[in-house]
Amino acid sequence: MSSTTLLYIGGPTAVLDYAGKRFITDPTFDAPQSYEDPGETMLVKTAGPAIQRHDIGRIDVVLLSHHAHKDNLDYEGLELIATGIPTLSTREAASELFGGSVIGLDSWETHELGGITVTAVPALHGPPGSERLVGEVTGFVLEADGEPTVYVSGDNASIPLVEQIADRFPDVAIAILFAGAARVPGIDAALTLTSRDAARAATILTATAVVGLHTEDWAHFSESRADLEAAFADTGLLVATPRGETVAL
């Protein structure tokens, strides 16, 4: 029997206990604030984490979809990575973040972690052609003997890419989907999955359990957790993930 569990921290951040390792997705632990960089869109964080960084205990691996946006890697998240925790991310992140603990992976490249195979899978952070504006992004698939296959979407908005992933991994059981339909000025489309597309993705993957992340705590999300719940109504797929509580998947 699988002992996979998830602890929802807030935004895109959750701790996934899987095959004896503790993974954290896109670490964000800052207090509510506004982030503004020259030439970039201001992002506003509206709520802090359910658990502070220093209280989450051991973390074995960071799964970082990308490093350029504060709603996926904030100042406290950078401090977590700076402690030397192995971090799997994009090639771009590996070249720009400090230290040697960030491992950059191309799409479909694998990394072995004590019996766990992590495969980087393609992601598109917006509509086709937006790459030059939003940068490189990745998702992940986790596999281990006797454990459910887990897909972590990262900031992916592309259903065709989900179809490619489903073709390569037909046995995905748990889909951790970044939704919220994030929107910013200058790009007339959602930068992450809409609630409806999240439901489509779950169907394409034939997942038996879905976790929704990245649906709250930031002002640029155009859809809420309630919208995601409505899209999954009557499916029995969406797992309830109360903030700060560990749930079995």
CA 216 to chain centre: 13
pLDDT tens figures, 18-67: 999 999 999 999 999 999 865 566 889 999 999 999 999 999 999 999 88
- How far is residue 169's CA from residue 166's CA, in Å, rounded to a whole number? 5
Q: Please give the Cα distance from 184 to 134 (Å, whole number).
A: 11
Element (H, E) at 134: helix 131-134
What's phi and psi for 177, nearest 5 deg?
A: -110, 125
How far from chain centre, in Å, is Cα 161? 15
Residues in the chain: 249
User: Torsions phi, psi of 173, nearest 5?
Assistant: -105, -35
> Phi first, then psi: what are they for 131, rounded to 5°?
-55, -40
Whether pLDDT at 199 is above 80: yes
How far apart are the C-alpha atoms of 216 and 134, rounded to whole Å? Answer: 20
- What pLDDT, on a 0 to 100 scale, did the predictor assign at position 151? 98
Write out pLDDT tens, residues 95-146.
988 767 999 999 999 999 989 999 999 999 876 766 666 678 999 999 999 9
Percent of the chain at pLDDT > 70 equals 94
- Looking at residue 133, what is its pLDDT? 66
CA distances from 116 to 15, 60, 108, 145, 173 (A): 16, 12, 15, 8, 16
**β-pairing verdict for 110-113 and 33-35:** unpaired
The mean pLDDT value for 188-211 works out to: 95
Indicate if the pLDDT at residue 178 is higher than 90.
Answer: yes
